[in-house]
Amino acid sequence: MNLAEKVAQMVVVRASGHLFDNQILYPDWEPPNSKLQYWVQELGVGGVIFVGGSAVDLATRIQQLQSWAKIPLLLAADIEEGVGQRFAGATWFPPPMAIAAIAQTNLKKAQGYAETMGAITAQEAVAIGLNWILAPVVDVNNNPDNPVINIRAFGETTELVCQLARAFIRGAQQYAVLTTAKHFPGHGDTAVDSHFDLPVIPHSDRRLAEVELPPFFEAIAAGVDSVMSAHLLIPVWDGELPATLSHKIITGRLRQKLGFDGLVVTDALVMGAIANRYGLAEASVLAVEAGADILLMPLDAEVTINSVCDAVSQGRISESRIDESLQRIWQAKTKVYPTWEPGNEKIPDYFSPPTYNLVEKLAQSQAQETVAQILQDSIQVGGGYLTPKNRDDNHLRNLVLVQDILNTPFLGNHTPAIAIPKKYGYQLQLIDNYSEALQTFTSHRLTLLQLFIRGNPFGQSASLTQAGEDLVKKLLRSGELQGLIIYGSQYTLKQFSSELLSEIPYIFCYGQMPKAQAIALELLFKDLQVSL
Amino acid sequence: MNLAEKVAQMVVVRASGHLFDNQILYPDWEPPNSKLQYWVQELGVGGVIFVGGSAVDLATRIQQLQSWAKIPLLLAADIEEGVGQRFAGATWFPPPMAIAAIAQTNLKKAQGYAETMGAITAQEAVAIGLNWILAPVVDVNNNPDNPVINIRAFGETTELVCQLARAFIRGAQQYAVLTTAKHFPGHGDTAVDSHFDLPVIPHSDRRLAEVELPPFFEAIAAGVDSVMSAHLLIPVWDGELPATLSHKIITGRLRQKLGFDGLVVTDALVMGAIANRYGLAEASVLAVEAGADILLMPLDAEVTINSVCDAVSQGRISESRIDESLQRIWQAKTKVYPTWEPGNEKIPDYFSPPTYNLVEKLAQSQAQETVAQILQDSIQVGGGYLTPKNRDDNHLRNLVLVQDILNTPFLGNHTPAIAIPKKYGYQLQLIDNYSEALQTFTSHRLTLLQLFIRGNPFGQSASLTQAGEDLVKKLLRSGELQGLIIYGSQYTLKQFSSELLSEIPYIFCYGQMPKAQAIALELLFKDLQVSL
């Protein structure tokens, strides 16, 4: 292999999980087929990370990519809440924070759930052809305003995150798939989303050692295959460079102090915290200098490969540094492709079974039962149930408030949050957090309010906008509110806990998926079932 | 074959095009995998009609079904506007009425488009495994209030529908796929959607012969493979039974007078006009008595099969009547499966190529160019373009009004109707036709209004609700309206034509797909492109 081929193996590009160019949802970030094929077949990039598409779409997409690749690919996705979180058809788990909530009263049970979640996620990932789970999140979410980690974390305390992340990894290890502890050295205590700007962690060495680092120790001890670096500035360790680009942090702390010898992967190089400050070419070189093995999601694979190759020929990076990373990549690939050997360019036919066989492998009954149990064990209910009396009104309204009205994979005319109230005579009004309609809201109708609000990468906010919060409070005080369901973040519930009157039924549920809606609405409408 | 097996071949059931039960969008109408497998493998139903899923999902679904079937299946879909109308990734054409509009000035060109549309639809259908196109619509839409046919028709005159439907059929005949003339004897002059209730066509025999029937003559002469019956009452021919269930109409008129010897398929038996009045069992028997070969979309295949078998054993239907239909079914199946022979239970491996090969077969450049040309040739523009002057306002609003906010496959954060105005500083407000927000609309902002309104089966209305119409008129008169784009039905444009002032730029476009949005917005923002 020449230098460019070796460096290409260090690059994992982003692609749509859909097969056709006309289905690309993020045209600024996802290459069309012609470019993707060039990257995989000609440049020989090491892997691909996917967003979008159904489970069947993705399985097909992966077969296509494997048919292009000379060396089998690392195939990754942010499936922190199960394969179904990203790829419809597979199992969609509640967010890790739901399991943390269960752990407050029953740690053993919660560990069991985390392990099962890891195992099912791994089993389903392997079934559709993924071999790299970009999970578990091992950040300790000790900042309720954290817009990007939030309920993606396995808890608000170090202890809990250690216990549950370890269980998740143990579960996943039953299958030939890579796991990832992220985001090193800990993204839990920020109020800035690094997708937009660079957060600063002002903590002391001691505090980091006590709070943020133990989950990484735990994950490494449990045999996690990779660690993802965070785009965070940690002045106490490096006053200049963010963790992703810092030799002091990646090599000094992660490799040497923590003794991690697996794959180090950067967080996405396309993210604002890095891309806006350093540019792709320099960021790629700095990340390799820092000690990264995998450069994730550069906007242009060719720029990354060329800039790293140039840095080698200029003597800024040694070729042995590249070879070290390549060795780790070979190690990872031999783990997930046990019949493949480095140097052997032929890929066995990994995907001979037709994709329809997935129907026997995804979303099986044990998986669905586990999802339902986690939801049921973590749900919070207050204020009683709706009674038939409440229904004596012709103007019942089902007000559904979401974060982004054009991105609601959890909602459709058939999903319980829409279909069940409709059956009971409620008229739907669907608006989003940023809608003008929030301000002009005047009509007086008995209202069932359902909030789908949670912290998400790129979500802009962990919770409601001010206008959204004002609307909820107005409804709470007006006597119009008949019931409230919050799907997502317990921090949203806390925003209103002082306002929640004992006579208004409310439900809080960590999940937003249809199963969560079914469980919540069944509880809320409990006393109405007979009368329907 | 025993009687039940023969009758089963006459049944075409509905299924989701998605592979997994948890992706079913219409749980009342679409069976889970276990039931579907029972119908196909055990009962031996003759075929399946699909709704939903991506092109890749559907291709996978079809492979699954073929693996279950002992006799190869008829695989149908309502792909009147191309495979991409229903199954994302494939080519999505503008509605037939767009081609009719082009025919007003250039019939030859329009015939060319209709033929290409038929050919590409057939080619892509075959590529994903479909073999029965439930198109063309040959109804003459001479009633602008028609809620269900509307722009699905190839025109408002008999002449045009004849010419264009014939061209569509000619194009499709290049591939081994069945075509369907629908809805016999003509669904164009109704103001009632037969999905909900039974429309009555009060016309004379002469009027039917002059207006409604000629397109069916033409289609039959062109060699159309099947004719779909309408759920319409036509008192002049049969005072009691709707066409679908009428021996006088199906056998008397279609078979005998028009001499059609191909497949007669009922419209969906699940539709309100039939299901609510007769019940499935009786409707199934009546349809066979009337002369239908295919019973489409019974809610329960077993009820249909059993009721028809009972009618045979009771002597109400003769077994030879069943055998006649079976002969026509064999004829259709041998056409689309040329290597298969009736009596041979083994299905060759039709789908050995992996589904990712579809990327070279769907949405190819010729198809995309044809779509763009039809859109460009049928677009209507008035009132000039937006100028930079119009932008001197911090409160630009992109108001998007749709028919069903939870069913907008043509909209996403990445689609032009959303993304382009956003680039120009417009803030999105997305509401639907039934939203309360229509009434409380008070704020004063310069508004770009985009209407996605068209007649659709189950669409409740062909056009705007009264509240929607009032809002548009209010905006038109207030001076707030900066520009108007109507995607869908020319009848919606006509609603406002008397109100459209010459200084307000407006665009009407038949298509709603992203390509239509791109063309319309490029036109509207023509003078702004430099300044962006």
ipTM of the complex: 0.94
Dump pLDDT digits (tens) for A18-51: 999 999 999 999 999 999 999 999 999 999 999 9
Task: Look at residue B415 in the predicted model and tell me its pLDDT.
Answer: 97
Dump pLDDT digits (tens) for A167-177: 999 999 999 99
Query: Does B440 contact A437 at a Cβ distance shorter than 8 Å?
Result: yes
Residues of chain B contacting A411 with CB distance shorter than 8 Å: 406
Strands (E), B38-189: 47-51, 74-77, 132-133, 180-184
Average pLDDT for A296-323: 97
Look up residue A455 and give its two tokens: 């912290």
Average pLDDT for B145-162: 94
Q: Is A358 on the interface with B (CB under 8 A)?
A: yes
Consecutive H or E run containing B367: helix B365-378
- Nearest residue to A363 (alpha-carbon basis) of A226, A514, A149, A531: A514
Average pLDDT for B75-104: 98
Do B271 and B230 meet the contact criterion of CB atoms below 8 Å apart? Answer: no
- Where is average pLDDT lowest: A290-299, B80-89, B382-391? B382-391
Q: Which residue of B has its CA nearest to A32?
A: B359
Do A499 and A473 meet the contact criterion of CB atoms below 8 Å apart? Answer: yes
Q: How far is A276 from chain B (nearest CA, A)?
A: 19
Dump pLDDT digits (tens) for A398-446: 999 999 999 999 999 999 999 999 998 999 999 988 777 777 766 678 8
Do B432 and B403 meet the contact criterion of CB atoms below 8 Å apart? Answer: yes
Query: Does B436 contact A429 at a Cβ distance shorter than 8 Å?
Result: yes
Q: Is A355 on the interface with B (CB under 8 A)?
A: yes
Q: How far is B432 from chain A (nearest CA, A)?
A: 9
Q: Which residue has the higher pLDDT, B470 or A121?
A: A121
Question: Which of B18, B359, B405 is closest, CB to CB, to A64?
Answer: B359
Residues of chain B contacting A418 with CB distance shorter than 8 Å: 406
Q: Which residue of A has its CA nearest to B33?
A: A359
Residue B478 has pLDDT above 60, yes or no: yes
Dump pLDDT digits (tens) for A132-159: 999 999 999 998 888 889 999 999 999 9
Query: Does B405 contact A442 at a Cβ distance shorter than 8 Å?
Result: no
Q: Which of B57, B225, B238, B267 is catalytic?
A: B267
Task: Look at residue A359 in the predicted model and tell me its pLDDT.
Answer: 96
Residues of chain A contacting B87 with CB distance shorter than 8 Å: none
Give every strand in the sheet of B180-184, ordered side by side.
B180-184, B226-229, B263-265
Task: Look at residue B468 in the predicted model and tell me its pLDDT.
Answer: 86
Average pLDDT, chain A: 92
Mutation site, A18, A60, A398, A456, interface B, largest B CB count within 10 A: A60
Residues of chain A contacting B355 with CB distance shorter than 8 Å: 19, 60, 63, 355
Dump pLDDT digits (tens) for A499-516: 777 778 999 999 999 999
Strands (E), A39-166: 47-51, 74-77, 132-133
Question: Which of B26, B89, B90 is closest, CB to CB, to A18?
Answer: B89
Which 74-93 residues of chain B touch chain A by CB within 8 A?
84, 88-90
Q: How far is B88 from chain A (nearest CA, A)?
A: 7
Which 402-441 residues of chain B touch chain A by CB within 8 A?
404-407, 411-414, 418, 427, 429-432, 434-437, 439-441
- Nearest residue to B510 (alpha-carbon basis) of B252, B141, B257, B174: B141
Look up residue A336 and give its two tokens: 């997930």
Query: Does B25 contact A435 at a Cβ distance shorter than 8 Å?
Result: no
Residue B393: band (very low, low, confident or very high) from pLDDT cuts 50, 70, 90:
low
Residues of chain B contacting A25 with CB distance shorter than 8 Å: 412-414
Average pLDDT for A68-96: 97
Q: What is the gyration radius of the CA atoms in chain A, in angstroms?
A: 24
Residues of chain A contacting B69 with CB distance shorter than 8 Å: none
CA distance B138 to A387: 52
Question: Which of A90, A407, A411 is closest, CB to CB, to B413?
Answer: A407
Q: Which residue of A has its CA nearest to B414?
A: A25
Average pLDDT for B67-85: 97
Q: Which residue of A has its CA nearest to B61?
A: A356
Query: Does B19 contact A414 at a Cβ distance shorter than 8 Å?
Result: no
Please report, rounded to a whole number, the percentage of residues in chain A having pLDDT higher than 90: 76
Do B197 and B273 meet the contact criterion of CB atoms below 8 Å apart? Answer: yes
Query: Does B430 contact A60 at a Cβ distance shorter than 8 Å?
Result: no
Q: Is A281 on the interface with B (CB under 8 A)?
A: no
Residue A95 has pLDDT above 70, yes or no: yes
Q: Is B353 on the interface with A (CB under 8 A)?
A: no
- Where is average pLDDT lowest: B12-26, B179-193, B431-445? B431-445
Average pLDDT, chain B: 92
Residue A324 has pLDDT above 90, yes or no: yes
Active site residue A395: no
Task: Look at residue B473 in the predicted model and tell me its pLDDT.
Answer: 87
Residue B353: band (very low, low, confident or very high) from pLDDT cuts 50, 70, 90:
confident
CB pairs under 8 A between A and B: 162
Residues of chain B contacting A60 with CB distance shorter than 8 Å: 56, 60, 354-356
Dump pLDDT digits (tens) for B318-330: 999 999 999 999 9
- Nearest residue to A181 (alpha-carbon basis) of A250, A238, A227: A227
Query: Does B405 contact A356 at a Cβ distance shorter than 8 Å?
Result: no
Residue B40 has pLDDT above 50, yes or no: yes
Residues of chain A contacting B353 with CB distance shorter than 8 Å: none
Residues of chain A contacting B358 with CB distance shorter than 8 Å: 19
Dump pLDDT digits (tens) for B429-443: 999 887 777 776 666
Residue B350 has pLDDT above 60, yes or no: no
CA distance A403 to A431: 9
Q: Which of B18, B183, B195, B203 is catalytic?
A: B195
Query: Does A440 contact B435 at a Cβ distance shorter than 8 Å?
Result: no
Residue A528: band (very low, low, confident or very high) from pLDDT cuts 50, 70, 90:
low
DSSP conformation letters of A266-283: PSPTTSHHHHHHH-HHHH
Q: Which residue of B has its CA nearest to A443?
A: B440
Query: Does B60 contact A356 at a Cβ distance shorter than 8 Å?
Result: yes
Average pLDDT for B276-284: 94
Query: Does B20 contact A64 at a Cβ distance shorter than 8 Å?
Result: no
Query: Does B354 contact A351 at a Cβ distance shorter than 8 Å?
Result: yes
Mutation site, B33, B37, B57, interface A, largest A CB count within 10 A: B57
Give every strand in the sheet of A74-77, ordered side by side.
A132-133, A74-77, A47-51, A11-16, A295-296
The answer to whether the peptide bond before residue B202 is cis (omega within 30 degrees of 0) is no
Do A182 and A227 meet the contact criterion of CB atoms below 8 Å apart? Answer: yes
Task: Look at residue B273 in the predicted model and tell me its pLDDT.
Answer: 81
Task: Look at residue A496 in the predicted model and tell me its pLDDT.
Answer: 85
Residue B252 DSSP code:
I
Residues of chain A contacting B430 with CB distance shorter than 8 Å: 405-406, 432
Query: Does A19 contact B363 at a Cβ distance shorter than 8 Å?
Result: no
Residues of chain B contacting A436 with CB distance shorter than 8 Å: 397, 427, 429, 443
Query: Does B440 contact A436 at a Cβ distance shorter than 8 Å?
Result: no
Q: How far is A88 from chain B (nearest CA, A)?
A: 7
Active site residue B349: no
Query: Does B53 contact A54 at a Cβ distance shorter than 8 Å?
Result: yes
Look up residue A434 and give its two tokens: 């940023």
Quick one: CA dihedral B124, B417, A78, A113, positive or negative? negative
Q: Which of A183, A187, A195, A203 is catalytic?
A: A195
| Number of Cα atoms under 13 Å in the Cβ half of residue A152 | 26
Residue A487 DSSP code:
E
Dump pLDDT digits (tens) for A215-228: 999 999 999 999 99
